[in-house]
Structure 1
Amino acid sequence: MIPRRHLVRRGDVERTMEPRLMAVLVQLASRPGEVVTRTELLDAVWAGTVVQEDALTQAVSQLRRLLDDDSRAPAVIETIPKQGYRLIAAVGPAPAAATAGAAAPPEAPVAAGLPLRHRGGRSRWLALALPAGLVAIVAVVVAAVWFRPDAGRKAEPGPVTWQERPLTAFPGEEGWPAQSPDGSLVAFARREEGAVAFRVQLLRVATGETFPLTEEPGDETSPAWSPDGERVAFAREVAEGFRLCVAPAMGGPVQELGPLHWALGGHDWAPDGASIVYSAKDGQEAPMRLLRLRIADGGVEPVTTPEPLSRGDTWPRFSPDGAQLAFVRSDRGSSREVLVMPSAGGEVRRLTGGFSTTGGLDWAGDGRSLVLSATLRGTYELWRVPVAGGAPELLPTKGHRALHPDCGRDDGQLVFVDSLLDTELEIRTLAAPEQAQTVAPSTRLDTGARFSPDGRTVLFVSERSGSRELWLLDRDSGAVRQLSAFAGDALRKPRWSPDGRRVAVNVTRNGWLQVVVVDVASGLQRQVTPDGGHYRLGHWSADGTGLFYSRERGAEWQVGRVRLDGTGAIDVHCPGCLSLHEQPDGTLTYFRETEPGLFRGLPGGREDRLSVPEDDGAGTENLEVTTDGSWFTRVTGAESWLSYRDFATGAVRNVLRLPDNATGEFHVSGDGREVLLSTVARSGSDLVLMAEPGGSAQ
């Protein structure tokens, strides 16, 4: 184990460990064979943070999974009841082979540049021998102090700070920056305040002057420079779909490239200028795949063939020498991974994974690493990923969310998007919907809000603590408290139990989508689905004793049910069903993979179609099912509405016109009188130029 890199290595296999997990293990390793009390561990690792004791229990549980340890027959970490934990693995010198490549002090957790420049310094290092050949290299003298927030800081050199300066500060949004080959220009997409469409513009870095790439109307994004700097390729939305276009950088007619597509997901120009590799799909249910477009004759050929039910491949980027192609692959759950393959075709290699969302990537100028925007710690940050293998390393940025990195051809300079998104929660009474009450305000992202069954508490997901966590609002007092301590795990779709005593939520852990249940009174949490698979959270059973989920099984999703202690998992016979909901009378409502609409299962295996997607718009994510009908959002003309369908009559009525800044998320109270909405309070994005120490951000 390499503490500063938050890395566990077994042979040629490396796993990234969360910083707090590493800190717990370092504390135990600094006192091998001794009992380290729970209080000592909480004070050392969670100093200054209010957490439940279960946070430590969960951390040790995750450590055991990473180290293949068993709490019932421990070989690494032993639980001492009512006291704490102790490290029982023998401590001794590591074999030379195990420490190869790690004898020098490991990298700091903050990368110093592109390529990374290792900082000097001497430390005393001991090796911790673990079972099955897993060797942990633990800085017992230095790292144990370094991880303690209240000690030893002066002896540790501070992180190297990059120089930053804003390139743009326009009202509205800017995104998708691309530096010209000589670095004098940056192409980007801009949406002016109040406008609907993005337009590609060029910015002179020296003067800040901007001018449009084209004069033609259309929504334009994702500019990419030709290797000679003469042309810019970009994506344009037209009435029939999306297509690639190219225009001279200094003005001229726009040329359309290739066929129309249902969606585009990024593109890059090959370094030899002969082709463009781009991400596209040709239908709503199809996965994104990579295609190669030949500039000479306009021919298109496939590059990747992702699984049919996956989300597919996006963000293709050529290495500087053109030999390799990196891209992001998204599976059927909520996990993304970075893959690398020979650009001419061949074996696809996984570089890193476990991200719940990504916001772009690019190759560093030396071709030995990638810079990736990802939510490894709950919010978008920039990470340096060595192509040869190893843990991602954080690049320090000063803004809000760091997206769309572009490294250009200068090893020491990159441009990225600093994005701000502040959402608020509001409650409206459906009898008087013009009156809105903002609740639990913050300057961070608040989402996924739901009324408790009795309507007195609001559950929501917020980034106000620095990572996405579950929070509770007491409507009587207005008090807000943090419920969970996931510390960086990505969260989505929280659901109250019928009795309001528990919350189920989808959590992405180590790249797998899992279902976790949190006790509202204590904050204790239990993962009820096994590791090593993707499990989409559905709904609670009507009696509250179990949960429905959809699990990945080959190329399909299988609906199942599990008890709250993780036992008794069974498959539910409902071929092709998704998002199954059980009514109090045992009736099941569900969506199907192969046929659009909302269905209801009846006795004898019969079923009714309760709705059709043409009426009910956005489908499973923006639809709430009740015993007698369904709430959903839909667009009629230029207006968005919260609407209700009565199952008995099939009649649909518009109930609430959604405000223009609504995100589309909603939850209607159990009595049907109130609705929770998520709205955008502030949003915007600017381009930032970032230079490594010793470089110039001028």
Structure 2
Amino acid sequence: MYFNNGEKQNLQPKLIEVLIYLADAYPAVVSRQELIDKVWQGNTYVGENALNNVIWNLRQIFKEGMQDEVIETLRKTGYRLLIAPDSLSSPSSSAEHTSRPSARRLWPWLAAAVLVILFISSFGLLNHSQQTSQRSIQALTTEPGLELFPSPSADGRYLVYKWVSADGQVDLFKRDLLQPGLAAVRLTYDQASEGHSVWSHDSRFLYFSRKDRSKAQCDIVRMDMQNYEEVFVTHCPIGGGYYYIDISPDDKILAFYGSDPDAEQSGVYFLDLQDKNASPVRFSCARHCGYKDRDMAFSPDGKHLVLTRRVNEFNENIYLVTLSDQSTRQLTQGEEDIVGLTWHPDGQRLVYAVQRADVRSGFMLDLRTGRQYPLEIEGLSYPSFARNQPWLFFQHRSEQYQIASVQVDAQISSAPYPVLQSVYNHKYPDYSATTNQLAFISNETGHYEVWVSDAFGNNRRQLTHLKRNSRYPTWSHNGQRIAFLATDDDGKGDRIYQVDVATKRISALDSPFEGHNRPTWTLDDQGIVSAVFNQDHTDIYLFRQDGSVPQRLTFNGGEYGIMQDNDKLIYSVQRKGLWQTDIHSGQTRQLLEEQHFRNPYSWTLSEQGVYFMQANNQHQQLRHYDLANGQNLVLLQIPSASVESDSPLTYDANHARLLFTETEFPQSDIKMLKDPLFQ
């Protein structure tokens, strides 16, 4: 809502609903989930953050003239009203008057709040509709393939972006937005992969990452945007796929995503651009951190840095760091995957994007009030403001996943055949020969939950209702249970869970670790094999159902393993190929080197050998490695990016086929949003 003095305020109609629900429940505590279920009809995506805003706004309404708190927050439990709304005429003891606000003081505020909220909400809804109608979204790129990571110059005239063609070619391009009829200018000509880029504030230089796997080299490069001359700046890590980068408002400090041998994992580094002899200095925590910093952005005044901080694959949120004293404040709660963030030029607001169950969306966060505003653009990610203009550039991308199969006994190679596809995403299939059923995850409820169906995707039913994302369901050999990965209750780690298919009862596997990987079962179903991630190492452990101490099975970085028999484990190591170990004697040998086996997750084991996916820039190959004679044969060749890069494979011996997560080569375009909300 816009006022005559130029100030604006958005109040949600849900305030009155929450207030009435708390009043009706008095004096009971109402859980967060109950409020979300009743007020937001169970829409956790919207409700989680909206409920925080509602409680904050209600407290502000009652704050004036009230010395005591009206709504109490019980940590990890919920909320309750501290005064009975219907106690106006009932006697109150003096003790009651001293322990909580008087009903006679509170009730007029409740009544006034109801009227004010209803009145303002009606105008707020009208104003929101008017704002939406006044916004404009302009498509800036329409080329086939992926246009990624928009980087506008300070004045918004020029736009640099990364383009990935269908054949895997990766380069940076620049568009002049004042001359839309001109073709984009290609900035890089090489076989390497360029990443995120950032302009200097005077728009003279462009800084970006360049990774060349053939040379095992990654560099941060500075390009002069007048003559396109390149200068080496510093090195970046060869591993990983994202190379976040930003520059301070005075163009003196370059922040980038990097690593060094003394740190446990990658993080944010600062480089003094004024000192030609300077070396990168680690800004992030280096050891015993419990998290990893990834993306970053300097505030317009250079006094703060916002960071995305990832605890595990289920937990990533945004933090605000004051650079003068390193004090840190968490800005978001309960997010899983942050896909870009940017400061508004006024330095008081942030726009960021999240990915929830493979659905991308954007939000504006007002740092002064803590209020969050959804931008209501599905597919928005990697937003970036022009530094001197309130124009938001963003990457518009949607992804569709389905379950497909391919026959492995055909004389002639066949194309993948869809098994389960719809408007929702279905991923990570696992086939049970005992039950002739598929287990998989689907996001049709708003979260990735575990589902089962028959072998051809029919007769689906949902097994879990955790209302948080699950991963990697795997059948026990007897077909009675399914193991899967999901976050723990406090979100600080993940757990291996088991769901009983008949009863839908869920239990957590006893583990002393906070980070786990994809579970598989021992042949007798009395144990689960999974890699663990901790501060000292990554390796595969055996967790027995009796709760005994986990047994470490690998000692060279095992990431994913399947028991070949009661003694032997076949497992993969990141960038080190495929291995086999005897879990009793400890004897280990390498089966395939990295050049022949690159993806540590897209493989499965059959009685004859190992089926696995091997990819390059032009295509993906389905291959079979015979464990008996060592033959490595190509079974099928399909276009690049047809199979999700980390999708597990599962072998269906009953129907002589492999099942996997299939995705079409996604389309991503760069767009620009002008919205009254940003003024």
Q: Which has the higher helix share?
A: 2
Asked whether 1:427 is paired with 2:417, we answer no
Distance in 2, matches of 1:386 and 1:365, equals: 13
Distance in 1, matches of 2:602 and 2:189, equals: 35
Q: Which residue of 2 aligns with 1:382?
A: 362
User: CA contact under 8 A between 1:236 and 1:244: conserved in structure 2?
Assistant: yes
Gaps of 5+ in 1: 1-19, 50-54, 63-98, 107-124, 144-150
Distance in 2, matches of 1:656 and 1:131, equals: 54
Alpha-carbon shift at residue 165 of structure 1 (Å): 0.6
Tell me which of 227, 235, 244 is aligned to 2:201.
227
Distance in 2, matches of 1:479 and 1:133, equals: 37
Asked whether 1:598 is paired with 2:579, we answer yes
Distance in 2, matches of 1:687 and 1:481, equals: 38
Distance in 1, matches of 2:493 and 2:277, equals: 39
Asked whether 1:304 is paired with 2:287, we answer no
Alpha-carbon shift at residue 102 of structure 1 (Å): 6.2
Write out aligned runs for 1:250-399 (5 A): 250-259=226-235, 261-263=237-239, 265-281=243-259, 287-296=265-274, 297=276, 299-304=278-283, 306-307=285-286, 312-331=292-311, 334-343=314-323, 346=326, 350-352=330-332, 354-375=334-355, 379-385=359-365, 393-399=372-378
Distance in 2, matches of 1:234 and 1:41, equals: 46
Distance in 1, matches of 2:253 and 2:206, equals: 13
Q: Structure 1's 102 and 413: CA in aligned 2 closer, same or farther, altered over 3 A?
A: farther
Asked whether 1:180 is paired with 2:153, we answer yes
RMSD of equivalent CA atoms:
4.8
Asked whether 1:519 is paired with 2:495, we answer no
Q: Which residue of 1 aligns with 2:59?
A: 103
SS at match of 1:287: coil
Distance in 2, matches of 1:578 and 1:298, equals: 39
SS at match of 1:536: coil
Q: Which has the higher strand share?
A: 1
Q: Which residue of 1 aligns with 2:417?
A: 437
Tell me which of 1, 24, 27 is aligned to 1:30.
24
Paired AA for residue 624 in structure 1: T
Distance in 2, matches of 1:609 and 1:469, equals: 37
Write out aligned runs for 1:478-497 (5 A): 478-487=458-467, 489-497=468-476
Paired AA for residue 623 in structure 1: W
SS at match of 2:477: coil
State the number of aligned residues: 600
Listed one character per residue, the Cα deviations across residues 224-282 of structure 1 (whole Å, up to 9, x for unaligned) are: 11111222222234453332223344554333323465256111122111232211347
Q: Structure 1's 27 and 468: CA in aligned 2 closer, same or farther, altered over 3 A?
A: farther
Identity of aligned residues (%): 17
Alpha-carbon shift at residue 295 of structure 1 (Å): 3.2
User: CA contact under 8 A between 2:59 and 2:71: conserved in structure 1?
Assistant: no
Asked whether 1:403 is paired with 2:381, we answer yes
Tell me which of 663, 671, 674 is aligned to 1:680.
663
Asked whether 1:201 is paired with 2:170, we answer no
Asked whether 1:556 is paired with 2:537, we answer yes
Asked whether 1:127 is paired with 2:71, we answer yes
Distance in 2, matches of 1:140 and 1:429, equals: 67
Asked whether 1:540 is paired with 2:521, we answer yes
The more displaced of 317-326 and 658-667 is 658-667
Tell me which of 473, 485, 489 is aligned to 1:506.
485
Q: Structure 1's 626 and 410: CA in aligned 2 closer, same or farther, altered over 3 A?
A: same
The more displaced of 196-205 and 476-485 is 476-485
Write out aligned runs for 1:646-685 (5 A): 646-660=626-640, 661-664=642-645, 665=647, 666-670=649-653, 673-681=656-664, 683-685=666-668
Listed one character per residue, the Cα deviations across residues 53-86 of structure 1 (whole Å, up to 9, x for unaligned) are: xx9xxx9xx9xxxxxxxxxxxxxxxxxxxxxxxx
User: CA contact under 8 A between 1:504 and 1:515: conserved in structure 2?
Assistant: yes
Distance in 2, matches of 1:132 and 1:417, equals: 36
Gaps of 5+ in 2: 1-13, 49-54, 63-68, 86-108, 111-117
Give the TM-score taking structure 1 as reference length.
Answer: 0.72
Q: Structure 1's 484 and 140: CA in aligned 2 closer, same or farther, altered over 3 A?
A: farther
Alpha-carbon shift at residue 430 of structure 1 (Å): 0.7
Write out aligned runs for 1:464-483 (5 A): 464-475=444-455, 478-483=458-463
Tell me which of 122, 125, 137 is aligned to 1:165.
137
Give the TM-score taking structure 2 as reference length.
Answer: 0.74
Distance in 1, matches of 2:457 and 2:244, equals: 48
Paired AA for residue 303 in structure 2: A
Distance in 2, matches of 1:349 and 1:35, equals: 28
Q: Which residue of 1 aligns with 2:115?
A: none
Paired AA for residue 506 in structure 1: L
Asked whether 1:245 is paired with 2:221, we answer yes
Distance in 1, matches of 2:639 and 2:357, equals: 32
